[in-house]
């Protein structure tokens, strides 16, 4: 698994000015990725290949009598896929090193833009 680098975008009156352009994506690893998660991390995926399933697995299962904690699965559409995930609760989705564990059904054409809107 590869560890991806978090992008901390800066914003101007016209919108995001760094870190979110198409040139800033990081290639996804076939064996999955580890992504640092501060609870304010979101993932943007772009896909120029066939449809791909992205899976984020809970690392810690709290007492959950209603079974609300689930493995999260997102389908990134083929060719023109551009997808944003929600934030991930660190108490549930982080491993012992503070990363979320992400796996993919395929990686050809898939780029990840892990971003945090947290403090400096």
Per residue in 25-47, pLDDT (tens digit) is 899 999 999 999 999 999 999 99
Tell me if 56 sits within 8 A of 71, measured CB to CB.
yes
> Does residue 59 carry a pLDDT above 60?
yes
**Residue spans per domain, the chain:** 2-11+20-116
- Print burial letters for 46-57: b (CB count within 10 Å at least 16), e (below 16): bbeeeebebebe
pLDDT given at position 12:
66
**Phi/psi at 91 (nearest 5 deg)?**
-65, -20
pTM reported for the whole predicted model: 0.82
CATH 2.30.30 given to domain 2-11+20-116: no
pLDDT tier at 23, thresholds 50, 70, 90 = low
Contact indicator for 44, 82 with CB cutoff of 8 Å: yes
71: pLDDT strictly greater than 60: yes
**pLDDT greater at residue 87 or residue 65:** 87
**Pairing of β 33-36 and β 2-3:** parallel
């Amino acid at each position: 698994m590869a560890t991806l680098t978090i992008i901390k975008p800066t914003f101007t009156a016209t919108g995001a000015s760094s870190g979110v352009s198409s040139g800033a994506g990081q290639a996804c690893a076939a064996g999955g990725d580890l992504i640092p998660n501060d609870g304010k991390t979101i993932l943007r995926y772009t896909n120029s290949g066939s449809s791909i399933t992205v899976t984020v697995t809970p690392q810690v299962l709290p007492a959950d009598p209603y079974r609300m904690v689930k493995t999260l699965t997102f389908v990134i559409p083929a060719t023109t896929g551009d997808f944003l995930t929600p934030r991930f609760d660190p108490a549930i989705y982080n491993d012992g090193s503070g990363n979320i564990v992400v796996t993919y059904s395929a990686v050809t054409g898939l780029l990840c833009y892990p971003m945090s809107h947290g403090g400096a």
